Amino acid sequence: MYHQGVKKKLVPRPQNKKKSHLKDLDPILLKIFSTRGITENDQIERTLAKLPSPWLLSGIESMVEHLMIAIKQQQVICIVADFDADGATSCAVAIKGLESLGAAKVSYVVPNRFEYGYGLTPEIVELVKQQNPDVIITVDNGISSVEGVKAAKDSGIKVLVTDHHLPGEEIPDADAIVNPNVAEDKFPSGNIAGVGVIFYVLMALRNRLREKKWFEKQNIQQPNLAQLLDFVALGTVADVVALDQVNRILVHQGLLRIRSGQAHPGIKALIEKAGKQFNSINSSDLGFALAPRLNAAGRMDDMSLGIQCLLSEDEASAKDMADQLDELNQDRKDVEAQMKNEAMSLLNEMKVLDEKHLPAGVCLFEKYWHQGVIGILASRVKDRLHRPVIAFASVDNDEIKGSARSIPGVHIRDVLSEIAASHPNILSKFGGHAMAAGMSMKMHDYPVFALAFDEVVGKHLSHVDLEQKIYTDGQLSEKEITIEFSEMLNNAGTWGQEFPEPIFDSIFDVIQCRIVGQQHLKFVLRFPDSELLIDAIAFFVEKPENWLGIRSLNSAYKLDVNEYRGNRSVQLMLQYIEKIE
């Protein structure tokens, strides 16, 4: 998307000094892979056979043993999920996977963020106890649930934690923990999402059950766990984890299942509602079309609706739930737009939009902001200011919740850890990743926290280049502006976080420019001294009327294929535009 705000600069993507041994590739694709650290042919392999063994995960042996006992004894298992898309897909994978392996009594609980907050808390344990479970399995949460795990075990419930979040100083006393980010874990990817962790647990469990001749003894068919990969792909992309080779394999294999028509009814319904094509869906579609609709349930209401959509085996029922999710997502957009306008007013009052007054770390608070949307708001403001941002909303008269988004070079959870160390009583709880985090505190502590946040972020920013750069993969010639070249790029890599989709730059003559949908600009462009006319679009342009009548522009763009009423044509998705006077 095109954003105005902090000045941006187009720069060539840094070259890899390591010699490339890639063979039989288009020269442009060879360069693209090289700048992303891919220099060997086996690094671009995306077959399931290239996945590392699940037995490399610490805690996997204990986890599998407990799960085998639960299945053989037909114990009651309750899945406790997070309320985002990773949590919802993790829950669906856990339920469908365990049932296919022979578990007969599997249910789930997903905390309502407005009533219970995040994770396995003592309050959630009380809710879970209504189902009389023998075992709780956390998915995409649990590594920070010290008190919740204790409450469950004190009640005689076994607790198995599957998570991918960074652990705190204290690890819960669970019966088994599988998390690639715990200390001394030997698994080669700490980037797998929560849905990837539970998928790996199921693979190890199936392996051990196969060794024990479980399927033959029970006269049940050994399941093909690859059938769950459409869920794994969606959850992985939605959680914006780095697409290292493990994640690229998981996402790619999930996309192949979707393209071949083997997706679950809930995934199919979400794709149809988003207006995407099954046979050409890509990771960007998962992140920008499907994930927001699924996430809308947890943001605006209750993620149970999203989980039920994923679990549904009935196409009509799945379609009805996808319609409801779409309505919730539209509500989310409306709320977000209002909150963004209010945030811009606050920034103007703070004179933050003037770069001379731009603080290192920005905190914004409005009592009536929607708790489910503050994360998106923080991300939007972060994109504009290119600074770490936290947006806060009230929980009640005494407590507020914040959602933080950061920029490369500032590990936001480390920032919160430093503040917690220097102000021990200011944060009642916090957690997260390098780029995103959440926290709670008392309202009266907010002014002190905001000052501390600005100060600590300032120390981290002293080592960060704050000029916002758009890295490009160079220029294309007229002969590369084709459907075939665009599809080759799309299919060659599983593009996403930290494995970015190719972006090219060029100066174009503007043949036509018009406003569409109030905030978007539709262009007809051509290379200087060329006759080829090229369609292009820039989304969410501030003051689009200011671009009408321009003669030429400098741009960064992605190559895309536009499909409309059965016709297919090349289109440039403009990521950055700059007037040339």
Q: What is the pLDDT of residue 2?
A: 43
Residue 39 lies in a domain: no
Query: The CATH number of the domain where 147 resides is what?
Result: 3.90.1640.30
At 150 the three-state DSSP class reads helix
Picking from 415, 432, 466, the residue at the C-terminal end of a domain is 466
Residue with tokens 């306008």: 341
Classify 5 in phi/psi space as left (phi over 0), alpha (psi -120 to 50) or beta.
left
Q: What is the pLDDT of residue 564?
A: 78
Residue 84 lies in a domain: yes
The reply to whether 446 and 482 lie within a common domain is: no
The reply to whether 388 and 482 lie within a common domain is: no
359 pLDDT above the threshold of 70: yes
Alpha-carbon torsion (435, 437, 443, 444), positive or negative: negative
Rounded distance between C-alpha atoms, residue 71 and residue 477, angstroms: 59
- At position 302, the amino acid (one-letter code) is D
Residue 13 lies in a domain: no
351 pLDDT above the threshold of 80: no
Q: What is the pLDDT of residue 353?
A: 59
The reply to whether 454 and 478 lie within a common domain is: no
Residue 3 lies in a domain: no
The reply to whether 374 and 438 lie within a common domain is: yes
Give the chain's radius of gyration (CA, Å).
Answer: 24
pLDDT tier at 3, thresholds 50, 70, 90: very low
- At position 470, the amino acid (one-letter code) is I
Across 547-552, average pLDDT = 93
- Specify burial of residue 208 (Cβ count, 10 A radius: 0-12, 13-18, 19+): middle
Rounded to a whole number of angstroms, the distance between the first and last alpha carbons of the chain is 23
Across 409-435, average pLDDT = 90
Supply the range of the domain harboring residue 496. Answer: 470-579
Q: What is the pLDDT of residue 355?
A: 61
The reply to whether 362 and 502 lie within a common domain is: no
The reply to whether 73 and 97 lie within a common domain is: yes
The reply to whether 451 and 480 lie within a common domain is: no
91 pLDDT above the threshold of 80: yes
Number of domains in the chain: 3
274 to each of 283, 288, 501, how far by Cα in Å? Answer: 14, 10, 21
Across 50-76, average pLDDT = 97
β-partners of residue 436 are 405
pLDDT tens, 455-510? 999 999 988 878 888 999 999 999 999 999 999 999 999 999 999 999 999 999 99
| Structure-token pair, residue 548 | 């009408």
The reply to whether 390 and 485 lie within a common domain is: no
pLDDT tens, 203-216? 999 999 999 999 99
Residue 43 lies in a domain: no
Helix (H) or strand (E) holding 579: strand 567-579
Q: What is the pLDDT of residue 563?
A: 82
pLDDT tens, 264-281? 999 999 999 999 989 889
55 pLDDT above the threshold of 60: yes
Q: What is the pLDDT of residue 396?
A: 83
pLDDT tens, 307-321? 999 999 999 999 999
The reply to whether 456 and 521 lie within a common domain is: no
Question: Is the separation of the CB atoms in 331 and 360 below 8 Å?
Answer: no
- DSSP class of residue 303? T
Pairing of strands 429-432, 436-442: antiparallel
Q: What is the pLDDT of residue 1?
A: 40
Query: The CATH number of the domain where 365 resides is what?
Result: 3.10.310.30
Binning the chain into helix, strand and coil, the percentages to the nearest 5 are: 45, 20, 35
5 pLDDT above the threshold of 60: no
The reply to whether 219 and 74 lie within a common domain is: yes
Q: What is the pLDDT of residue 168?
A: 82
Residue 478 lies in a domain: yes
254 pLDDT above the threshold of 70: yes
The reply to whether 246 and 103 lie within a common domain is: yes
46 pLDDT above the threshold of 50: yes
Helix (H) or strand (E) holding 514: strand 504-516
Residue 331 lies in a domain: no
Across 235-242, average pLDDT = 93
Secondary structure in 3-state letters for 51-103: CCCHHHCCCHHHHHHHHHHHHHCCCCEEEEECCCHHHHHHHHHHHHHHHHCCC
Rounded distance between C-alpha atoms, residue 426 and residue 433, angstroms: 20
Picking from 449, 466, 483, the residue at the C-terminal end of a domain is 466
Closest alpha carbon to 452 in 421, 431, 430, 428 = 421
Across 31-44, average pLDDT = 94
Q: What is the pLDDT of residue 356?
A: 61
pLDDT tens, 560-573? 998 877 788 999 99
| Structure-token pair, residue 144 | 């920070």
478 to each of 91, 273, 291, 491, 550, how far by Cα in Å? Answer: 47, 35, 35, 21, 22
| Structure-token pair, residue 112 | 């309502």
Rounded distance between C-alpha atoms, residue 494 and residue 484, angstroms: 17
Query: The CATH number of the domain where 554 resides is what?
Result: 2.40.50.460
pLDDT tier at 354, thresholds 50, 70, 90: low
Across 286-291, average pLDDT = 96
At 430 the three-state DSSP class reads strand
Higher-pLDDT residue of 422, 7: 422
CB count in 10 Å sphere of residue 459: 12
- Specify burial of residue 394 (Cβ count, 10 A radius: 0-12, 13-18, 19+): middle
Q: What is the pLDDT of residue 117?
A: 76
Across 357-382, average pLDDT = 92
Picking from 466, 495, 522, the residue at the C-terminal end of a domain is 466
The reply to whether 461 and 504 lie within a common domain is: no
β-partners of residue 469 are 9
Closest alpha carbon to 524 in 481, 484, 472 = 481
Rounded distance between C-alpha atoms, residue 414 and residue 411, angstroms: 5
Helix (H) or strand (E) holding 348: helix 315-349
Residue 339 lies in a domain: no
Closest alpha carbon to 469 in 2, 7, 3 = 7
pLDDT tens, 219-235? 999 999 999 999 999 99
The overall average pLDDT reported for the chain is 93
pTM value > 0.85: yes
Helix (H) or strand (E) holding 212: none
What percentage of residues in the chain have a pLDDT greater than 70?
98
| Structure-token pair, residue 397 | 């008269």
The lowest-confidence range among 171-180, 351-360, 389-398 is 351-360
- DSSP class of residue 287? I
pLDDT tier at 352, thresholds 50, 70, 90: low
